[in-house]
Amino acid sequence: MLNDIQEVLFDAETIQNKVKELGEQLSQDFEGRNPLVICVLKGAFIFMADLVKQLSIPVELDFMAVSSYGASTKSSGVVKIIKDLDVTVEGREVLVVEDIIDSGLTLSYLIDVLERRNAKSVTVVTLFDKPARRTVELEADYKGFSLPDEFIVGYGLDYAEHYRNLPFVGILKPEVYSK
């Protein structure tokens, strides 16, 4: 598995420091708001787990699974809800946790769903951002790192469901996905 990585972009410690910083900022900004923190499965599961441990305020957690990539490195453009939330978002301050924003399609779809369900507010935190790849206009409210346009894996991010368990984020060797 490690043989498939061309270069480590963010090691585990660098990621943890950033997650701590985001957690402290969010704890300040969401003080007294009892946010519903939503993990966008599957990619965000590790970031979500680490981030909520850095929150010093009361929160509720829920999980939603959406997918647009399937086993490809390109977005299909069609976002599917695979697992919906367990709770209603009406009147809630919602914090959406994503691992990465690429085209922006997944999040713009999700934000639209949450707003139509009358969330009181929808805030987005993403660990990674690839601004150069946007096809819809969308900015995260909080973000960790901006990335070059390389196919990256690890810390929740997959290629064909593999590599999510890497504790760091790295660039996948092109020969792995051009096979």
Backbone angles phi, psi at 59, to 5 degrees: -140, 160
3-class secondary-structure state, position 129 = strand
Check if 129 is active-site: no
Q: Are 105 and 136 in contact (CB under 8 A)?
A: yes
Q: What is the H or E stretch that residue 48 is in?
A: helix 45-52
Nearest-angstrom CA–CA distance, 156 and 41: 9
Candidate list 99, 102, 129, 158, residue with the active-site label? 102
Classify 114 as helix, strand or coil.
helix
**Main-chain dihedrals φ then ψ at residue 122, nearest 5 degrees:** -125, 115
The listed partner (Mg ion, ligand PRP, Mn ion, none) that binds 104, CB under 5 to 8 Å by sort, is ligand PRP
User: Which of 68, 121, 141, 173: binder of ligand PRP (CB under 6 A)?
Assistant: 68
Applying CB under 6 A, which of residues 18, 98, 127, 163 lies at the interface with ligand PRP? 98
Residue among 40, 55, 95, 124 that touches ligand PRP (CB under 6 A): 40
Specify the 3-state DSSP secondary structure of 113.
Answer: helix
Q: Say whether residue 69 binds ligand PRP (CB under 6 A).
A: yes
- Cβ-closest position to Mg ion: 69
- Using CB under 5 A as the criterion, what x/- string covers residues 6-45 for binding Mg ion? ----------------------------------------
Query: x/- binding map, residues 101-140, to Mg ion, per CB under 5 A?
Result: ----------------------------------------
**Does 129 interact with ligand PRP (rule: CB under 6 A)?**
no
How many Å from the N-terminal Cα to the C-terminal Cα in the chain?
15
∠ CA 84-89-92, nearest 5°, is: 150
Residues assigned a catalytic role: 102
Binding site for Mg ion (CB under 5 A): 69, 158
Binding site for ligand PRP (CB under 6 A): 40, 42-43, 67-69, 75, 98-106, 158
